[in-house]
């Protein structure tokens, strides 16, 4: 047995004309397999079913979301959890996945595992999300709602006025539209958008 292992080891270490080509082909194939598996895993975590797999989300914010226009509306267009909480672009998506590791930590250690605990942390969770959306100019909102394509004449007068003012002042969606898909936390210390 020892002799057989030594023979395999010597064969493996001996350079040959095919070694570099074999190494390149194996490396290329391995890279494709790794990338495909990695990308598939990332996409699996970008599904609503994955998001509500935790009872903290299913029993709290998902129940709120189901009562909004983003869940059920006359046009049948639905924005799911990842549509609003995960950027579409690859780089920002990976950064968001890294940031979500804090949420996994909270899940593992039971920081928000009951409705009472969730409510105690709601303002902190909301502020984190609002800050993220302000920092990226509400990119996830703008994937569907873009000022450039809004017909202000078809909007209610107040909405058209506020959207025009938001453009002038460089505001982003989350400055005014907090609580659009979830209940608002206690807002007594939170400034208004305008």
Binding residues for heme: 51, 54, 57, 81, 84-85, 103, 141, 144-145, 173, 176-177, 182
Binding residues: 51, 54, 57, 81, 84-85, 103, 141, 144-145, 173, 176-177, 182
Neighbours of 45 (CB within 10 A): 13
Q: How far is CA 30 from CA 20, 36, 37, in A?
A: 15, 10, 10
Region at 167 (left for phi over 0; alpha for psi -120 to 50; beta for the rest): alpha
Report the alpha-carbon distance of residue 100 to residue 116 in Å, rounded.
22
Task: Please say whether the beta carbons of 176 and 194 come within 8 A.
Answer: yes
């Amino acid at each position: 047995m020892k002799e057989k292992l030594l023979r395999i080891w010597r064969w493996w270490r001996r350079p040959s004309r095919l070694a570099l080509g074999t190494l390149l082909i194996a490396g290329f194939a391995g890279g494709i397999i790794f990338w495909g598996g990695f990308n598939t895993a990332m996409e699996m975590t970008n599904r609503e079913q994955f998001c509500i797999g935790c009872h903290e989300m299913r029993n709290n914010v998902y129940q709120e979301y189901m009562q909004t226009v983003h869940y059920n509306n006359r046009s049948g267009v639905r924005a799911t959890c990842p549509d609003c909480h995960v950027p579409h672009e690859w780089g920002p998506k990976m950064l968001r996945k890294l940031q979500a590791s804090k949420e996994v930590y909270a899940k593992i250690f039971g920081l928000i595992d009951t409705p009472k605990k969730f409510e105690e942390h709601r303002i902190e969770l909301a502020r984190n999300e609002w800050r993220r959306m302000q920092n990226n100019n509400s990119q996830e909102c703008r994937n569907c709602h873009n000022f450039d394509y809004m017909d202000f004449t078809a909007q209610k007068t107040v909405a058209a006025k506020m959207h025009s003012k938001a453009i002038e002042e460089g505001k982003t969606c989350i400055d005014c539209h907090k609580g659009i898909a979830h209940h608002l936390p206690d807002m007594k210390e939170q400034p208004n958008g305008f």
